[in-house]
A and B are shown apart, each in its own frame.
Chain A
Amino acid sequence: MHVPNGFLDAPTSVATGVVAAGAIGLALRGARRELDDRTAPMAGLVAAFVFATQMLNFPVGAGTSGHLLGGAIAAVLVGPWTAILCTSVVFVVQALLFADGGITALGTNIDLMGLSTVLVGWCVFRGLQAVMPKRTSLVPVQAGLGAFVSVPVAALLFTALYAVGGTADIPLDKLAAAMVGVHLLIGIGEGIITALAVGSIIAVRPDLVYGARRILRARELEIRPAATSGASS
């Protein structure tokens, strides 16, 4: 969903750039609470992993393809603030080195593919975690669902930005339908990849997954008074 130069007008691009800069500023503060000696090295690696998976376009229906956006998976693995930093690094490198996503559209791309997928993915993930049983085995499912929802929402957000500052006069209802349609399919891929990747780490080291820690902590507190109940896993 990398937005090239020219799709959005200058004022809109400046506005999205300001939002992106503000979000990164907040994230630089917020990430301090998420990063410790175990998560800090994870964060750089998660950024690298998101970059790698964004090279892997998978086919979705007729003549089109999509790739992971990565906000949801990053948020679940290293925390939402850190995830904003991870995804921003990816988009900066892609724009500067790989000519993928315009430089004037960098703020737009950080907002659409990073910030919004982190926020939506994390909120859906935490919402599901709140209502579902507190089991680490459910974390990959919840992460996958958050990832799935985040993609069509980002597509809608692009449509909204286009409504404000699109450079061509096109029917917005058709744009919205086309964007959400194809990105629902891409979202399925995003959900599956996210669930598989989070599941692989949960299987070996659930404590390295930020989104699973709350459950692990709660479990430790529960187990101690009732050590004989064998409540583990």
Chain B
Amino acid sequence: MSAGRRSGLSNRGVWIAILLVSLVLAGVVSFYAASTPDGLTKVSEDQGFARTETTHESDGSPLAGYQTDGVANGRLSGGLAGVAGVLVVLALGSGVMLLVRRRPHGGEADAEADAPDSERV
């Protein structure tokens, strides 16, 4: 795949960059996100069906509402929740991908998918 490469950035370099960007967005930038109601919430208020919303089963979660339980500082509370979320999603997402790749059967698909490995840098 050398034709596709325009820089010396390695696979690992790109992966770390995406992770860092995600952590900064969720951990820091999220504090500055708009706090006005989201599109559907606003429409439900305007159209008069917001009242049909019922309680959430996870309201007691320590991270409910993207805030960390027991952390008073809003910036820290939201930031921690964001970082925790990114890491949990990364772990769960990567786990699913590992499972998908590991499942036996379908050897022909594996052979095809593994072909580019020889070109890895």
A binds B: yes
Q: Are B22 and A96 in contact (CB under 8 A)?
A: no
Min distance, Cβ A97 to any Cβ of chain B, angstroms: 5
> Which A residues between 54 and 89 are near B, CB-CB below 8 angstroms?
55-60, 63-67, 82, 85-86, 89
Q: Say yes or no for B36: interface residue by CB 8 A criterion.
A: yes
Q: Say yes or no for B71: interface residue by CB 8 A criterion.
A: no
- Please, which residues of chain A bring their CB within 8 A of the CB of B15? 41-42, 45
Q: Tell me the interface secondary structure of chain B in the complex.
A: helix
Interface string of A1-44 (1 = CB under 8 A from B): 11111110000000000000000000010011111111011111
We find that the number of chain B residues with CB closer than 8 angstroms to chain A is: 79
Cα–Cα, bound, A44→B92 (Å): 8
Q: Say yes or no for B97: interface residue by CB 8 A criterion.
A: yes
Q: Are B86 and A5 in contact (CB under 8 A)?
A: no
Min distance, Cβ A214 to any Cβ of chain B, angstroms: 12
Select from chain A the residue with minimum beta-carbon distance to B29: A56
Cα–Cα, bound, A4→B87 (Å): 24
Select from chain A the residue with minimum beta-carbon distance to B66: A98
We find that the number of chain A residues with CB closer than 8 angstroms to chain B is: 86
- Please, which residues of chain A bring their CB within 8 A of the CB of B19? 45, 48
> Which B residues between 17 and 41 are near A, CB-CB below 8 angstroms?
18-19, 21-23, 25-26, 29-30, 33-41
Of A6, A35, A103, the residue contacting B100 (CB under 8 A) is A35
Min distance, Cβ A3 to any Cβ of chain B, angstroms: 7
Interface string of A96-126 (1 = CB under 8 A from B): 1111101100000000000000000000000
Q: Tell me the interface secondary structure of chain A in the complex.
A: helix
Q: Are A47 and B93 in contact (CB under 8 A)?
A: yes
Q: Chain B interface (Cβ within 8 Å of chain A)? A: 1, 3-7, 9, 11, 14-15, 18-19, 21-23, 25-26, 29-30, 33-44, 46-49, 51-59, 61, 63-66, 81-82, 84-98, 100-101, 103, 106, 109-110, 112-117, 120
Q: Chain A interface (Cβ within 8 Å of chain B)? A: 1-7, 28, 31-38, 40-53, 55-60, 63-67, 82, 85-86, 89-90, 92-100, 102-103, 155, 158, 166-168, 170-171, 174-175, 178-179, 182-183, 186, 201, 203-208, 212-213, 216, 219-220, 223, 232-233
